[in-house]
């Protein structure tokens, strides 16, 4: 599975391509789309769209993992990030990528093991998980790789949970079949016992009459 992780931003949109094989996760490429504040908004968003479209065409990811944004105190900055995020999602949508959205806390939890991890911890774990011999730069690219790792980890967890649930369902079905078979055996045994009893004359008036005649002779 090839996953494109994106850390959206109008000035800097980080991207990272990760490939997974089983439990192994490795980086194929990463980088950052940079735009200037002096440029018109349409050109900045167009560059984000075009550059990410080129990345998708080069590495052929099938999944997108992108960070969700929250409108906090700096609403202006959040709106600019939302514009960049929209351009990125449209580029991925045009290529048919499945979209996964995660909060910063979810990404940190999946990569580091705690939602309160700082940036240094995230970079350290990204480097180790992907088997890199260096810290990925810039930080926006590292965050994008972290988003891709988050998608991979959660996907693997869901697959494991699904496999466990399937095994449990199969075990329940097997137990039910055994219970049904045992019930059927008990019914057959009861019917057989009843037939034997009747054959021996227990509760059979005709057989009892014949037996009494033989004993009176």
Cβ-based burial of 86 (10 A; exposed 0-12, middle 13-18, buried ≥19): middle
- Residue 140 bears catalytic tag: yes
The catalytic position among 7, 19, 51, 143 is 7
Residues flagged as binding site for Mg(2+)? 7, 67, 140
Q: Which residue has the tokens 């609403």?
A: 75
Distance, CA of 31 to chain centre: 25
The catalytic position among 60, 67, 73, 171 is 67
Q: For 28-44, b where at least 16 C-beta lie within 10 A, e where not — what string?
A: bebbbbbbeeeeeeeeb
The catalytic position among 12, 19, 51, 140 is 140
Which residues are tagged catalytic?
7, 67, 140
């Amino acid at each position: 599975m090839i996953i494109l992780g994106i850390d959206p931003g109008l000035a800097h949109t980080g991207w990272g391509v990760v490939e997974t094989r089983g439990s192994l996760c490795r980086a194929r490429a990463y980088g950052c789309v940079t735009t200037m504040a002096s440029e018109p908004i349409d050109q900045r968003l167009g560059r984000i769209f075009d550059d990410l479209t080129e990345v998708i065409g080069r590495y052929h990811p099938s999944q997108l993992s992108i960070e969700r944004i929250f409108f906090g105190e700096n609403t202006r900055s959040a709106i600019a990030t939302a514009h960049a995020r929209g351009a990125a999602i449209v580029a991925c949508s045009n290529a048919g990528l499945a979209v996964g959205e995660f909060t910063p806390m979810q990404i940190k939890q999946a990569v580091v093991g705690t939602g309160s991890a700082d940036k240094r911890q995230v970079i350290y774990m990204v480097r180790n998980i992907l088997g890199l011999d260096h810290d990925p730069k810039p930080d926006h690219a590292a965050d994008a790789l972290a988003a891709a790792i988050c998608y991979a980890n959660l996907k693997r967890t869901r697959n494991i949970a699904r496999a466990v649930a399937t095994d449990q369902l199969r075990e329940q079905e097997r137990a039910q079949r055994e219970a049904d078979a045992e019930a059927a055996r008990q019914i057959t045994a009861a019917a057989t016992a009843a037939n034997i009893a009747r054959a021996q004359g227990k509760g059979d008036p005709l057989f009892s009459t014949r037996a009494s005649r033989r004993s009176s002779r």
